[in-house]
Amino acid sequence: MKKLILLSVLLLAGILALPVRAATVSPAQTAETIRAALFDAQMAFSRDGHESAVQLAAAQTAYEDEFAATLASADPQADARIRAGFQTLEMALTVTDAPAFAAARAQVWTALLAGGTAVVEQATLSGDVPLAQTWLSVREYRTATRFSRPSADATLALTDLAAGTLTPEDAHLAVRADLLDTYQARLAQALRDLSAADASHFSVRRAELAALAEGYFAILAPVYEAQRGPDARLAAVNTFAALQTAALAGDDLTPMLAEVDVVLHDFRAAPLSPKEEARRAGQLLRYISLVPIEYGRGVVDGRVTRDFEIQEAITFQEGAQAAFDDLESLLAAQEPAQTQEVATHLTTLAHQLNATLSGTEIATPTEVKTTAEQATMRLEAIMPEAWTAQASTGDFDVITSLLDQLVAAVSTGDYEMAESSRLEAYAIMEVGPEAKLLVFAPQLNLTLEGLFWYGDDQQPGLGALIQARAPLNEIRATRTVLDGHLAEAQKTLSASTAPAAIASNAGVIVFREGLEAVLILASLLSSLRGVENVRLRRPLWVGSLGALLATGVTWLLVRGVLLTFARFGEKLEAVVSLIAIGVLLVITNWFFHKAYWMNWLAQFHARKRTLLNGEAGLWLGLAALGFTSVYREGFETVLFLQALVLEGGIKIVLVGLLVGLLATAVVGWITFRLQVNLPYKKMLIVTGVMIGVVLLVMVGNTVHILQVVGWLPIHTLPWLALPYWTGMWFGLFATWEGIGLQIIAAVFVVGSYYLVEGQKGRRKARTVSPLSPSSPPPHPLAPHDILPGMPKFNSIQEIFDLAPDYFLPENADGVEGSVQFEFSGEGGGAWFLQVNGPQLTVAPGHLSAHDMYASASAQDTLDIANGNLNPMTAYFKGKLNVLGDTSKIFAFQKVFRLPEQLAWLKSIK
Amino acid sequence: MFLRFKIFFLALFILALTACTPSVSEVPSTPVEEIPAASTDLSAIKIYLLAKEGELVTASLTLQDAAARYYSLAEVANFDYAALTTGQHAEVVEIVQDAQAAWRIASPRYEQIEGIVAGVPSLAEYDVILDAGASAEEDPEGATPFDLTLPDGRILPQPGNLFGVLEATLWGTDADFAALDILPDFDGNGVTDFGEAIPDANVLKAAADTFATYVADLQTASNAWQPTEADAFTALVVMIPTMTEYFDSWKNSRFVAGDASTQRDFVAISRLADIQDILGSLEVVYSGVQTLVATVNPIQADQIATDLTNLKTFVADVYAEEQTGKRFSPEEADLLGAEAQNRATALAGQIAQFAAQLNITVEE
- The predicted complex's ipTM stands at 0.73
pLDDT of residue A245: 95
Over residues A513-520, the mean pLDDT reads 78
What percent helix, strand, coil does chain A show, rounded to 5? 75, 5, 20
For A638-659, write each residue's pLDDT tens digit. Answer: 877 877 777 677 778 888 888 9
pLDDT of residue A759: 61
Over residues A173-200, the mean pLDDT reads 91
Residue A71 has pLDDT above 90, yes or no: yes
Which residues on chain B are in Cβ contact (under 8 Å) with A35?
342
Chain B: closest CA distance from residue A303 (Å):
29
pLDDT of residue A589: 60
pLDDT of residue A482: 92
B191 close to A (CB below 8 A): no
Q: Kindly report the number of other CB atoms within 10 A of residue A352's CB atom.
A: 23
Greatest alpha-carbon span in chain B: 104
For B124-159, write each residue's pLDDT tens digit. Answer: 899 999 988 888 877 665 678 899 999 999 999 999
Residue B337 has pLDDT above 60, yes or no: yes
A8 versus A894: the higher-pLDDT residue is A894
B17 close to A (CB below 8 A): yes
d(CA B284, CA B115) in angstroms, rounded, equals: 9
Nearest to A149 among B33, B346, B352 (CB): B352
Cβ atoms of B42 and A712 within 8 Å: the answer is no
pLDDT of residue A908: 39
d(CA A73, CA A61) in angstroms, rounded, equals: 18
Nearest to B145 among A146, A400, A411 (CB): A411
Chain A: closest CA distance from residue B305 (Å):
13
Q: Residue A514's closest chain B neighbor by CA?
A: B11
pLDDT of residue A518: 80
A580 versus A736: the higher-pLDDT residue is A736
Query: Which of A359-363, A520-524, A530-534, B233-237 comes out lowest in average pLDDT?
Result: A530-534
d(CA B3, CA A541) in angstroms, rounded, equals: 10
What percent helix, strand, coil does chain B show, rounded to 5? 65, 0, 30
Which residues on chain B are in Cβ contact (under 8 Å) with A645?
24-25
Query: Which of A149-158, A326-335, A575-584, A653-662 comes out lowest in average pLDDT?
Result: A575-584
Report residue A500 CA to chain centroid gap: 16
B219 close to A (CB below 8 A): no
Chain A: closest CA distance from residue B107 (Å):
23
d(CA A71, CA A117) in angstroms, rounded, equals: 10
Please enumerate in sequence order all residues whose Cβ is within 8 A of that of A355, keeping only pairs 6 or more positions apart, or say none.
Answer: A361, A362, A363
- Reported as type and span, the H/E element at residue B156 is strand B155-156
d(CA A668, CA B9) in angstroms, rounded, equals: 13
Q: Which of B217, B231, B127 is nearest to A411 (CA)?
A: B127
Band of residue A729 on the pLDDT scale cut at 50, 70, 90: low
Cβ atoms of A92 and A100 within 8 Å: the answer is yes
| Residue B272 one-letter amino acid | L
List, in sequence order, every beta strand (DSSP E) within A24-90: none
Buried b (16+ CB within 10 A) or exposed e, A606-645: ebbeebbeeeeeeeebbbbbbbbbbbbbbbbbbbbbbbbb
Chain A: closest CA distance from residue B68 (Å):
27
d(CA A670, CA A518) in angstroms, rounded, equals: 10
pLDDT of residue A605: 58
Residue B9 has pLDDT above 60, yes or no: no
At residue A361, φ and ψ (nearest 5 deg) are -160, 130
pLDDT of residue A787: 37
d(CA A425, CA A259) in angstroms, rounded, equals: 40
A496 close to B (CB below 8 A): yes
A395 versus A251: the higher-pLDDT residue is A251
Query: Which of A427-441, A580-594, B136-150 comes out lowest in average pLDDT?
Result: A580-594
For A243-296, write each residue's pLDDT tens digit. Answer: 999 999 999 999 999 999 899 876 888 877 777 788 778 778 878 888 888 788
Contact at CB, B21 and A555, closer than 8 angstroms: yes
Residue A764 has pLDDT above 80, yes or no: no
pLDDT of residue A809: 72
Q: Which of B42, B251, B296, B155 is nearest to A133 (CA)?
A: B296
Over residues A828-835, the mean pLDDT reads 83
User: Residue A390 burial (CB < 10 Å; 0-12/13-18/19+)?
Assistant: buried
- Reported as type and span, the H/E element at residue A299 is strand A299-300
Query: Which of A76-80, A253-257, A552-556, A691-695 comes out lowest in average pLDDT?
Result: A691-695
Band of residue A2 on the pLDDT scale cut at 50, 70, 90: very low
Q: Which of A638, A651, A643, A642 is nearest to A500 (CA)?
A: A651
Percent of chain A beyond pLDDT 90? Answer: 26
- Tallying the residues shown for chain A, one arrives at 909
pLDDT of residue A885: 65
d(CA B57, CA B113) in angstroms, rounded, equals: 13
Which residues on chain A are in Cβ contact (under 8 Å) with B237?
144, 149-150
Residue B329 has pLDDT above 90, yes or no: no
pLDDT of residue A410: 81
Contacting A residues, span 358-377, partner chain B, CB-CB under 8 Å: none
Contact at CB, A545 and B10, closer than 8 angstroms: yes
Strand bridging mode A839-844 / A852-857: unpaired
pLDDT of residue A590: 47
For B92-116, write each residue's pLDDT tens digit. Answer: 999 999 999 999 999 999 988 988 8
pLDDT of residue A789: 40
Q: Residue B243's closest chain A neighbor by CA?
A: A143
Strand bridging mode A816-824 / A829-836: antiparallel
pLDDT of residue A402: 82
Chain B: closest CA distance from residue A459 (Å):
17
Percent of chain A beyond pLDDT 70? Answer: 76
Query: What dihedral do alpha carbons A780, A785, A790, A792 form, nearest 10°?
Result: 70
d(CA B89, CA B185) in angstroms, rounded, equals: 9
- Reported as type and span, the H/E element at residue A461 is none
Contact at CB, A141 and B346, closer than 8 angstroms: yes
State the average pLDDT for chain B.
82
A174 versus A809: the higher-pLDDT residue is A174
Contacting B residues, span 305-344, partner chain A, CB-CB under 8 Å: 307, 330-331, 334-335, 338-339, 341-342
* Structure letter (DSSP) for residue B160: -
Cβ atoms of A803 and A812 within 8 Å: the answer is no
How far from B145 is each of A264, A407, A817, B134, B282, CA to CA, in Å? Answer: 39, 12, 93, 10, 26
A121 versus A484: the higher-pLDDT residue is A121
d(CA A304, CA B284) in angstroms, rounded, equals: 55
Over residues A53-62, the mean pLDDT reads 96
* C-alpha torsion sign, points A800, A804, A805, A811: positive
Best of A143, A397, A480 to mutate (most B CBs within 10 Å, chain B): A143
pLDDT of residue A891: 67
A549 close to B (CB below 8 A): yes
Which residues on chain A are in Cβ contact (under 8 Å) with B303?
26, 28-29
For A620-633, write each residue's pLDDT tens digit. Answer: 777 777 787 788 77
Strand bridging mode A816-824 / A852-857: parallel
How far from A691 is each of A415, A580, A681, A684, A686, CA to CA, in Å? Answer: 56, 12, 15, 10, 9
Residue A792 has pLDDT above 90, yes or no: no
Helices A203-228, A168-199: axis angle to 10 degrees equals 140
Q: B253 in helix, strand or coil?
A: coil
d(CA A869, CA A890) in angstroms, rounded, equals: 22
Residue A59 has pLDDT above 70, yes or no: yes
Contact at CB, A140 and B24, closer than 8 angstroms: no
State the average pLDDT for chain A.
78
B346 close to A (CB below 8 A): yes
Q: Where are the alpha helices (DSSP H) in A468-569?
A: 472-493, 499-526, 534-564
d(CA A257, CA A195) in angstroms, rounded, equals: 8
A669 close to B (CB below 8 A): yes
A271 close to B (CB below 8 A): no
pLDDT of residue A757: 64
Please enumerate in sequence order all residues whose Cβ is within 8 A of that of A387, keeping only pairs 6 or more positions apart, or say none.
Answer: A277, A278, A281, A282
Region at A166 (left for phi over 0; alpha for psi -120 to 50; beta for the rest): beta
Cβ atoms of A449 and A461 within 8 Å: the answer is no
How far from B90 is each of A27, A35, A699, CA to CA, in Å? Answer: 63, 55, 87
How far from A387 is each of A25, A393, A602, A706, A817, CA to CA, in Å? Answer: 44, 10, 54, 16, 66
Contact at CB, B300 and A645, closer than 8 angstroms: no
B51 close to A (CB below 8 A): no
pLDDT of residue A610: 64
Which residues on chain B are in Cβ contact (under 8 Å) with A144?
237-238, 240-241, 345, 348, 352
Contacting B residues, span 84-123, partner chain A, CB-CB under 8 Å: 121-122
A277 close to B (CB below 8 A): no
